[in-house]
Structure 1
Amino acid sequence: MSYCWPMPPICSTTFEGQFYDQIFPPSFFGELSDLMGIAQNAPNLSALRQGHYQAFSEFVTGQIEQRNFQSLKAENTRLDRVAKDADKLLQSLTALYDFGQTQGKLKRAVESNPTSFTSSNGHRLASLLDDTRPDNPFFIIKQFVSDISISAQRAKITTPKQSAGLPKSKEGDFDLAAIEALVCDRDLALSGDDAADLPRWKEQSEAHKLGGDHALLQFVKCFKTVWVALSPHPFTQGHYYEKIGHEPSRTLAALKLCFASFAPEINPQAIVTAIRKVQAG
């Protein structure tokens, strides 16, 4: 297999102080290809190395996601803050309508700001000023700010409440302001069907959760694609006999080898469970 190396470095990022190629040297891919039953030629080893790196990256990303995971309550609180702060900015910009001279000063300051941020496509804040509305130059910006507020409210995942019909004013007309608040707060199901809204909320809540095996599952899902593409053997957990330490499954043996280098705490049973979950879809 030595004739296939050295291959170009696959990544310049370090993982806990080591480069990918230091964690997984050529000998690792020799063992892995043997377990997968694939010929050790340059195209196969290159594809295996690239596919394994993608799976490894998914694992690292999964670990970061687990560390940064926040509860629904914490996320909803933060989104509420974003919505409220956006509303405050919207109100402040709207209040400038009665201060034409002040509004003009702010407009000119935005246009002449020498340190104004410029996006990759050349857009600046000044490009959002609405020259077609001399009395309301911040109209477009206010629409974007309003979108942020509404989007932050819609991004929350909260328990749907039973709707008692659309709110009406004392005069008997529909109260549009109250209806808008209900929609933004998700107190009123956007589907208009309370029975359908609760299962949808449960599904969203479940999707939000990250299990303790999240990073492992991300690796196995990605590595399965490589296995199916390269190996003639089935991707299956087989049977693990703890007493004799025998692993008839090539898949299990290969995954054990993968994790031995950087996550030895992942035991065979956890790997078997992850394979079953991935196979179940």
Structure 2
Amino acid sequence: MTQTERMALAWVVSDEIEPADLITPELLAAFAAYAGLPKNEATQSALSDALDAFRGAWFDLDALRPESAENKALEAAAANAGKLYDDLLALQEYPGIEGRLERTISAFPHLYELEDGKTLRDLLGTRRNIFRTYRELLVDLQACLELTINRKPRRQVLDGLDDEDPIDLETDEEHAKRMKDWRARSKARSLPKEHALHAFLLSLRPYWEAHSPYPFTEGMHYKEANQTISFLVDAVEQVMAIASPDTTRAQIVTAIREVRASPR
């Protein structure tokens, strides 16, 4: 691993090395020259923000878990929300306990404040049913957690009685529609391979389009040069040579094309 590659890896995984630390005067000058942008504080700030977006997206991609693990985490949270509902409701079976708990909450000096200044104390209900609001919120939370779980649809059938055949509760078209929706949700939760590059480009794009004389495009491929000719690709390549040396020019071209094709 080269010194540049070691620095890039250290930057990505460290909270102590800020994006601005990578932007040397030489890198800023090279980037600005290719981009046709002024070599000033505004350009440096836009580049720093784009690098920060790159690092955040890199962490997201690195931390992405299998959908089965996500479903398991959602199921556990939903089950715990339901259990907490039951546990809070069960407190009503113990005379006087809610009253004592209410007094404890009222006297507690370090309650978390919401944006409007309200605390746990302000959201309590009447004695003998002080957690009604919280239980109803837990019902909503449990329902939303369960709806977020993306399980593969099973064919809906009703077992037949005695020797009768099972009865389909949905048509082939209905089941196919549910399978299509499931695949779409599964695809939507995944992140593209070039997710970090996408984030860099999405952050940089408004500043580039407002100030650069060159279009925000991957350009055209010229057979004579055996590469795509684009000032944007050239400028991003200068940055990635420092921030992510294993990123190829072809990956940059693909990422720009995908970002331009995505809805704004």
TM-score range, shorter chain: 0.7 to 0.9
SS in 2 for 1:100: coil
Q: Partners in 1 of 2:61 and 2:221 — Cα distance?
A: 28
Tell me the residue number matched to 1:181. none
Tell me the residue number matched to 1:31. 30
User: Is the CA contact 1:252–1:272 (under 8 Å) kept in the aligned structure 2?
Assistant: yes
User: Is the CA contact 1:79–1:155 (under 8 Å) kept in the aligned structure 2?
Assistant: yes
| Structure 1 residues 244 and 148: alpha-carbon distance in aligned structure 2, compared to 1, 3 A threshold | same
Match of 1:135 among 128, 144, 149: 128
User: Is the CA contact 1:52–1:226 (under 8 Å) kept in the aligned structure 2?
Assistant: no
Per-residue deviation, residues 90-120 of structure 1 (Å, max 9, x unmatched) = 1111122232322322222222334444445
Structure 2 unmatched runs, 5+:
1-10, 159-168
CA shift for structure 1 position 200: 3.0
SS in 2 for 1:237: coil
Q: Partners in 2 of 1:221 and 1:116 — Cα distance?
A: 39
User: Is the CA contact 2:23–2:44 (under 8 Å) kept in the aligned structure 1?
Assistant: no
Per-residue deviation, residues 46-105 of structure 1 (Å, max 9, x unmatched) = 332222222111101111101221121111111111111111111111122232322322
Q: Partners in 2 of 1:248 and 1:112 — Cα distance?
A: 69
CA shift for structure 1 position 153: 1.1
Amino acid at match of 1:237: E
Tell me the residue number matched to 1:174. none
Tell me the residue number matched to 1:86. 81
Match of 1:113 among 108, 112, 119: 108
| Structure 1 residues 214 and 135: alpha-carbon distance in aligned structure 2, compared to 1, 3 A threshold | same
User: Is the CA contact 1:97–1:136 (under 8 Å) kept in the aligned structure 2?
Assistant: yes
Amino acid at match of 1:135: R
Amino acid at match of 1:18: I
| Structure 1 residues 47 and 114: alpha-carbon distance in aligned structure 2, compared to 1, 3 A threshold | closer
Please provide the CA RMSD for this pair: 2.9
Structure 1 unmatched runs, 5+:
1-13, 166-187
| Structure 1 residues 63 and 115: alpha-carbon distance in aligned structure 2, compared to 1, 3 A threshold | same
User: Is the CA contact 1:247–1:253 (under 8 Å) kept in the aligned structure 2?
Assistant: no
Q: Partners in 1 of 2:74 and 2:32 — Cα distance?
A: 47
SS in 2 for 1:261: helix
User: How is 1:97-176 mapped onto 2 (pairs within 5 angstroms)?
Assistant: 97-119=92-114, 121-131=116-126, 134-161=127-154
CA shift for structure 1 position 150: 1.7
Q: Partners in 2 of 1:253 and 1:29 — Cα distance?
A: 13
Per-residue deviation, residues 205-256 of structure 1 (Å, max 9, x unmatched) = 1111113211112112222332221111222223567996766321211111
Q: Partners in 2 of 1:140 and 1:46 — Cα distance?
A: 51
Q: Partners in 2 of 1:224 and 1:98 — Cα distance?
A: 60
Q: Partners in 2 of 1:214 and 1:147 — Cα distance?
A: 32
Structure 1 window deviating more from structure 2 (228-237 vs 71-80): it is 228-237
Tell me the residue number matched to 1:183. none
User: Is residue 263 of structure 1 aligned with residue 244 of structure 2?
Assistant: yes
SS in 1 for 2:243: coil
Equivalent residues, number: 237
User: Is residue 201 of structure 1 aligned with residue 182 of structure 2?
Assistant: yes
| Structure 1 residues 235 and 137: alpha-carbon distance in aligned structure 2, compared to 1, 3 A threshold | closer
User: Is the CA contact 2:20–2:48 (under 8 Å) kept in the aligned structure 1?
Assistant: no
Q: Partners in 1 of 2:188 and 2:123 — Cα distance?
A: 37
